[in-house]
Amino acid sequence: MAYFLLGLCWFYQWGRFLEVVSPKKTFIIWCIFNAMWVEVFHMISRPLHKSLLITANTSPWQALKNTSIDLILTLPAYALIFWVIWRLVERYHYSPFSFFFLMALGQALGDGGGFFLVNPGALIVIPYVMLNYWAMNFVPYLVVQNHLPTWSSQESKWKEIILPLILLPLTYLIAGGSILTLGKVLGWIPK
């Protein structure tokens, strides 16, 4: 939450005035940077795999090793996820509120899909889960939104709303399975 609030404060103080040469690169790289920080904050309690958990008994060297493995494996997944989000942003004109709500909801459903399927009552706390994704991608979106092409989409409004809620969970499923498999093949995660 603190990281997200700091990002918003920064944006309203200085970020609104940035000149963006390449909105796509700016958005994707900035989102990945934010995601890596959020991943580090999240690492302590909920890493990519339980074998990477950092506890009070974890040595500093092992904590660094676990964090490095988590970041190396999640980096390509985040690159794919933010590329998918960028493709949606390129195609549809999302208001800041639409982006804020739909992209974070799609990511939260993707990241916690299995948990929410088994525990549908837990959906009541999904705004808490969405906070991670607001910290990753909302400020980069605010920075590039005025540099996006303006057009009137002739496509149905329902696609703009429903596609993030389908494509992002699907992307998380594919990326998550791939990085866990890669981690096991490399011997970084137990089989």
- Give pLDDT tens digits for 23-53: 999 999 999 999 999 888 877 777 888 889 8
Say how many domains are in the chain: 1
Residue 117 lies in a domain: yes
pLDDT at 147: 84
Residue 73 lies in a domain: yes
Residue 5 lies in a domain: no
DSSP 3-state of 84: helix
Exposure string over 54-75, b if 16+ CB within 10 A, otherwise e: beeeeeeeebeebbebbbebbe
Residue 10 lies in a domain: no
Which residue ranges in the chain fall short of pLDDT 70? 150-155
pLDDT at 16: 76
Q: Which domain holds residue 168?
A: 24-148+155-185
Residues in the chain: 191
Q: How far apart are CA 53 and CA 42, in angstroms?
A: 10
Residue 15 lies in a domain: no
| Integer Rg of the chain from CA | 17
Residue 180 lies in a domain: yes
pTM of this prediction? 0.89
pLDDT at 154: 61
In the chain, % helix, strand, coil (3-state, to 5) comes to 80, 0, 20
